[in-house]
Structure formats: structure tokens, C-alpha cells
Amino acid sequence: MSDASELLSATGTTPEQVYTPQEQPGWPKGNVGTLDEYRKRYKQSIEDGDVFWDKAAKSTLKWTIPFTTIRSGGFEDGDVSWFHDGYLNACENAVDRWALKNPKKTAIIWESDEPGQHLHISFSELFKQVCLVANVLLSFGVRKGDVVAVYMPMVPEALYAMLACARIGAVHSVVFAGFSADALRDRINDAQCKVVITADQGVRGGKRSQLKKITDEAVAECPCVERVLVFQRTGDVLATPFHAGRDRWWHEEIAKQRPYCPPTLVNSEDPLFILYTSGSTGKPKGVLHTTAGYLLGAALTVRDVFDVHSDDVFGCMADVGWITGHTYICYGPLLNGATTVVFESMPTYPNPGRYWLTVDTHKITQFYTAPTAIRALRRLGDAHVAPYKLDSLRVIGSVGEPINPEAWIWYHEQIGKSKIPIVDTYWQTETGSIIVSPLPRVTPTKPGSATLPFWGIEPAILDPTTGQELKGNDVTGVLCLKRPWPSMARTVFGDHSRYLDVYMKPYKGYYFTGDGVTRDKDGYYWVRGRVDDVINVSGHRLSTAEIESALILHPRVAEAAVIGVNDDVTGQAIFCYVVLKETPAEAVSTLSTSVARMPHPDGPDGLKRMTQELVQQVRQHIGPFATPKRIVISPDLPKTRSGKIMRRILRKVANGEIKSTQEEEISKLGDLSTLADPGIVAVLIAKVHS
Ligand code: WTA
């Protein structure tokens, strides 16, 4: 965090263009009517929070035993609880309510990888399938509070698995199917999962991934695992290893079960799920969400940020392996009784019109994706959008990283036909649901700004150095929140002190997001990105420390420093500086540009091979989505006399802010007097830019 001030000073200026909401003929009345209504309700949610949340929780969720206590605890001890004497069941709220009322209504539309192959699953079918899986889990001995790992492709069964856990009070830990065996193993062991749910293979972009083989590799080092339940996505049994003692086929197990399973009584504060996310240190954190507060955040944001009405078709293009998939594919839409789309494919398969074909085919009303996809599609050209009507859309959303104004405007004009409101939604795994966003047809928008806070969210901007709150408008600092909100994470699984250290202790009395932010002259929030050692690649959160740990595992690596570099499509990309163990000692002590240009002892081929090995090392330890963009093998890293790596130098050199050793270029690096060996700067510049 020491670099926070420097990172924030690099932020751009804010364009002034404002887009005012327009009413469209034939659209249903908005769930929030006007900006005045937003302001009034927001004010109440802050000033009279108990009344606001009491009403919201009672009117939004079905309670088996209603609560009488609204909120207790605070940030300092991390003992926040909401509605804590109430009982309810998440699955009953998401599924049973609608299965009873409107059984034939479509709950899930599955758009498979191949265009034209899709399925409609009704609420009654969803109910039945979830009950069957819940009974399978019970038959495996899973009980309330047990953690079940879910490593699934984008098929409806991934949602069945999550909801089945919720039904019996088990805690799901979904691991994104792009993670490697090592990453899966660590997550399974961390939560001591007895059961892993997976599929034979995944299918995406016409390619198959070997999920079961990866699971086997992971589970081989997980003594806690007793059962692996395998869904047949492709049915390629010859390619799928099966261990009869431990493994069970999904279809065989559900065939044995009764299609009804009573929902377990769950306390508001019982855990609903764990989701691992990257932090500033190497080990991923198991962010834990509890039941009622999380559900309330998911339900309310879908209703108000996306203006969902009961006949809507909600199309969130994320993966269930990330928080966006949890909240906006699974829980949020279903809690509103809306139809949710499970999209197995990718935006460019079989061509860059795939999203728009999907929108038209299923008459999607809310479309939600990430800036990286928008930027990539914009690059590929408007011709891929032109054939589609896109006239079912009422709200289009963006999430995962700041959206640059050019991408925003393209999204607005090409996809929104200059009339559909964009919601640029800011939130995090830890916040559970959206915390800063415009409301469609209500909030005037500015491209690149997430605009205003959601109900109950009280942002504070702090000076990163002094920790003082910067009041008023036109201020830049780190983004904190001032009061607990229902869907906030309650702990880090198995490590509450880490939870306190990361979120509660950096600024006493506040929750710290890790992001830098500007509040402009109109009170609008512009999230700038992370001020810690977390980088955001295509909306995927990665810890530089975690990538460094992966690199260090290579027997020839002595040291590594990873930073984020700007990338036109992925937002940021992974740039690694690596120091090898066998760098000749004299090269380190007499650093100069001539050393940098010296042929590497491995020769050019050896160097290429080494670089490939290092890329592979990261992919194997984390997953293919964490593939480094560039690896620079350097004789040393810039360090202070006390041995601290000066990342600011690495960042500026990698980002091309400094390309030569001319004095005025070097001066852009700021004060270098604390560097143990100032010669390293020239070496790095030569390595990166020659
Ligand atoms: C970033 C994803 C700017 C931010 C839901 C945050 C954003 C991190 C936005 C959380 C946005 C997310 N504008 N930045 N609209 N949305 N971020 O946990 O840096 O995967 O801290 O949750 O993504 O990433 P996570």
C-alpha cells in the first residue's frame, strides 16, 4: 500500500460528457422512479438504516423464522451480523417460491457452446434437480456446515450443485474451472472438503478441457476428499478416468434419489459459501459470505440496479467460478423469480457476434459483461453487431474493472443503440453485491464513472498516507466504506485475523476496499483501480505475490517481481521480472548496460526455453488465465539499501514510461537516492526496451 499515493497521482482527467436517462415507450415502470426518489431512499438507508433494512429484508426474502434484531457488531472486531435471530433457506428463496407459484416458467436458459443448442429449464424442473442433488450429497454424508468443492463448467448442473448445497445448509466453494490442479488442490485442502463436484470435461470455444483429469490430479493430494461426483458434460468415458471406490457418476446417483428434499433451517449468519480471491499476499483468501445479508444484497441489486421485472431474462456473461457468477447468474436473478442465462461459450465463438446472437435468440433484457470483452469486441468491428436487433435489451452492465470512456461509448452506441442505460457497477468479491452504480433511467451517467452509492453504502475517501477522510467533492484517495452493509463478507475462512488485517485494520473504523477513487465535483465516484499488489487481468483478480510464488518454485529462479502493465484489451497484463540463481556474481556487482547486453549464458535458444518454462510454471500453479504477457530475465532487481524492491521503477519501465537512459527520462523515476545500486535502472531499461 506504500505505493498508493504514487498510483493515485497517475490517474487521468475526467471527461465531462453526461448522458441523461431517457424514457422509452413500452418499457415497464422502473423499480426506482426518479433521481429524487433515489436520493430520498438512499438518505433513509443511511440515516434510518434499521427501518430501511428491516423493511427490505422482510419484503424481499421469505423467512422461516422472522428476525427481530436487524444488525449488530462493527468493523473493528469484524463481528458484523445482520438479522441474526432469523432463519431462512437460500435455496427455498431462490427456487421453491417460484416453483410453487409459477412452475412452468423458465428459470434457466442454457446456451451451450454450440450456437443453436440451448435448453430451457423450468422452475419446477430446477426444483426437482436441486432436490435430487441435495439428496445425493446427503447420501454422501454431507451435513450442514460442511464445505463442498464445485469445479464445474458453465452448465445448469453447476447451479444445481450450488443450490443443492444451500438447500442442506452445506457451504459451497466454487473453484473457477480455469484454475489448475495445484490451485484446486490448495482450495480443497484449505476448506477440508469431503466432496468435490466436477464434470468429465468442459467445452468452450469448440475446445475441451479435462476437468476430471485435473480434479484427479488435485485430489491425489487431498486426503480429506471421500467422494467425487462427476457430471457427464461430453460423455467421453474413454477420455475420463474413473476411480470406482471414490468416484460416482452424477446421473447414476440422482437416479437413486427421491426428487424432494426438505430445505434445512439455516440461520441468517450461517455460511452460504466460500469463494477464494487473490489478495496482496501469496495465499488466496477464502472469502466467506453468510446467508441472509448476502441474499438481500443479491436480490436488491438485481431488482434496482438492473431494474429486473418478473418476466425478464437476465444475461450475465460471467463464469459461476467468480463472484459475478454467484450473485448475478445464480442467486440474484433467481431470488427475483427471473430467468437467468447460463452461457457456456465465449464472445468470439464461432464469431464475434456470439453475444448478440444470444441476446436476440433468448430476448435477453439485462446484459452484463466486463470491459475487457467490450474492448475486444469493439476492436473486431461493428460489422459483427450489425446483423442483430438487440431490441429486447433494457439495461446493459459492465463490471470487473474501470471501463474506459471509448469502450463505454461504443457499448452505448453499438449495443445500447444510444438509448439503453449502461450500469457501470463497482463491487468486489468481498462486498457480495454491487455497491456503487447508476440506476437505469434514474442516474445521469458519465462514461467511466460508476456514479453513486447503492442503498446503505456510505463511501469515504481517505488520504492514503495520513488516513484522514477527505470530505467534500473533487478529492482523490483510497476508497473505504464507513458502515457495515448486509452482503459484506464476514470473515476469511479459517483466518479471521487476516480478514481484520486486510480490510479493517489499514484504516481504523473503516472497511478498506484496496481501490483508489476520485469523487468529482458532482459527487460521482471514479474507481481508478487497485492500490495494493493486486492486478486485474481481463477482470480477473490476481495477486502479484501469488504469481511471484509460482515463479520462485522453478528450481532456477532466485527472485521474481511481478507487476501489472497496461493493456488495451485486458486492462492489465502480467509482466514478470525474474532473476536466475546462476547469474554470474560479477554481473550483479558490476551492473551496467554492457552486462545487460552481454549474451545470456543460456544463449538465445536457452533463454527462450527458460521463458517458456516460466510461463508454464505460472499456468500450472494458477491456471491458463494467469499467463504472463512478458518475462524479462534480469541480473538483479532495483532494491533499496534495506532490500525492499522498488516496484515503482519496475512499473514505469515495463509500462514504457521510461524507455531510455537519457537524464530527463530517468528523472521521471523520481528519487533514486535510496537505491542500493543505481546502475540497475539502466540495465532494466536496456532489457525491457532494447
Ligand atoms: C475492480 C468483481 C472499476 C476493483 C465484481 C475491485 C472495478 C475489483 C469495477 C474486485 C468497476 C470491479 N469499476 N473497478 N465497475 N468492478 N472493479 O473481487 O479493483 O473479482 O476491487 O469482484 O475489481 O474484483 P472481484
- The finding on whether 428 has its CB within 6 A of some atom of ligand 1 is yes
339-343 and 313-316: which strand pairing? Answer: parallel
Q: CB-based contacts of 146: which residues, under 8 Å, 6+ apart?
A: 170, 171, 193, 194, 195
- Please give the mean pLDDT across all residues of the chain: 94
Q: Using omega within 30 degrees of 0 as the cis cutoff, is the peptide bond preceding 156 cis?
A: no
- The finding on whether 487 has its CB within 6 A of some atom of ligand 1 is no
List, for residues 639-670, the tens digit of each pLDDT value: 988 888 999 999 999 999 988 888 888 888 88
Mean pLDDT of 133-142: 98
| Cβ-count burial 92-128 (b if 16+ within 10 Å, e if not) | bbbbbbbbeeeeebbbbbbbbbebeebeebbbbbbbb
List, for residues 551-583, the tens digit of each pLDDT value: 999 999 999 999 999 999 999 999 999 999 875
Nearest CA, atom 11, ligand 1: 426
Predicted interface score ipTM higher than 0.95: yes
Per-residue confidence band for 470, with pLDDT thresholds at 50, 70 and 90: very high
Residue by residue, DSSP assigns 563-594 as EEEEETTTEEEEEEEEEETT--HHHHHT--HH
**Phi, psi torsion values for 61, nearest 5 degrees:** -115, 155
List, for residues 117-128, the tens digit of each pLDDT value: 999 999 999 999
Per-residue confidence band for 358, with pLDDT thresholds at 50, 70 and 90: very high
- The finding on whether 423 has its CB within 6 A of some atom of ligand 1 is no
When computed from its CA atoms, the radius of gyration of the chain, rounded to whole angstroms, is 25
Domains and CATH numbers, the chain: 41-518 (3.40.50.12780), 531-583+599-689 (3.30.300.30)
Quote the ligand 1 centre to 399 CA distance (angstroms).
Answer: 7
Say if CB 535 and CB 542 are below 8 A apart.
Answer: yes
Quote the ligand 1 centre to 426 CA distance (angstroms).
Answer: 6
Q: Which atom of ligand 1 is nearest to the CA of 430?
A: 18
Nearest CA, atom 3, ligand 1: 402
Per-residue pLDDT at 667: 85
- The finding on whether 535 has its CB within 6 A of some atom of ligand 1 is no
Dihedral in degrees, nearest 10, Cα atoms 575, 580, 585, 587: -40
Distance CA 230, CA 202 (A): 12
Quote the ligand 1 centre to 279 CA distance (angstroms).
Answer: 13
* Neighbour tally for 482: CB within 10 Å: 14
Per-residue pLDDT at 281: 72
How far is the first Cα of the chain from the last one, in angstroms, to the nearest whole number?
31
Mean pLDDT of 407-417: 97
Per-residue confidence band for 586, with pLDDT thresholds at 50, 70 and 90: very low
Q: Which atom of ligand 1 is nearest to the CA of 534?
A: 19
Quote the ligand 1 centre to 401 CA distance (angstroms).
Answer: 5
Quote the ligand 1 centre to 289 CA distance (angstroms).
Answer: 17
Give the ranges where 81-232 is alpha helix by DSSP (H). 90-91, 97-101, 123-139, 156-167, 181-191, 211-219
- Say yes or no to pLDDT of 114 above 70: yes
- Say yes or no to pLDDT of 685 above 50: yes
Per-residue pLDDT at 74: 97
pTM, two decimal places: 0.93
Q: CB-based contacts of 100: which residues, under 8 Å, 6+ apart?
A: none
Distance CA 306, CA 310 (A): 12
CA distance to 291, 336, 596, 610, per residue, from 130 (Å): 18, 18, 60, 48
Distance CA 405, CA 449 (A): 9
For a pocket test of ligand 1, which of 179, 372, 515 has the largest count of ligand atoms closer than 8 A to its C-beta?
515
C-alpha cell read off for 532:
495494493
| Cβ-count burial 512-542 (b if 16+ within 10 Å, e if not) | bbbbbbbbbeeebbbbbbbbbbbbbbbbbbb
- The finding on whether 422 has its CB within 6 A of some atom of ligand 1 is no
List, for residues 189-243, the tens digit of each pLDDT value: 999 999 999 999 999 999 999 999 999 999 999 999 999 999 999 999 999 999 9
Residue by residue, DSSP assigns 476-540 as EEEEEESS--TTS--EETT-HHHHIIIIISSSTTSEEEEEEEEE-TTS-EEEEEESSSEEEETTE
Q: Which atom of ligand 1 is nearest to the CA of 436?
A: 15
3-state secondary structure of 285: strand
CA distance to 194, 196, 541, 621, 637, per residue, from 184 (Å): 14, 10, 16, 10, 32
Nearest CA, atom 10, ligand 1: 428
Nearest CA, atom 22, ligand 1: 428
Distance CA 516, CA 529 (A): 6
Quote the ligand 1 centre to 528 CA distance (angstroms).
Answer: 10
- The finding on whether 536 has its CB within 6 A of some atom of ligand 1 is yes
Per-residue confidence band for 2, with pLDDT thresholds at 50, 70 and 90: very low
> Across the chain, which distance is largest between two alpha carbons, in Å?
77
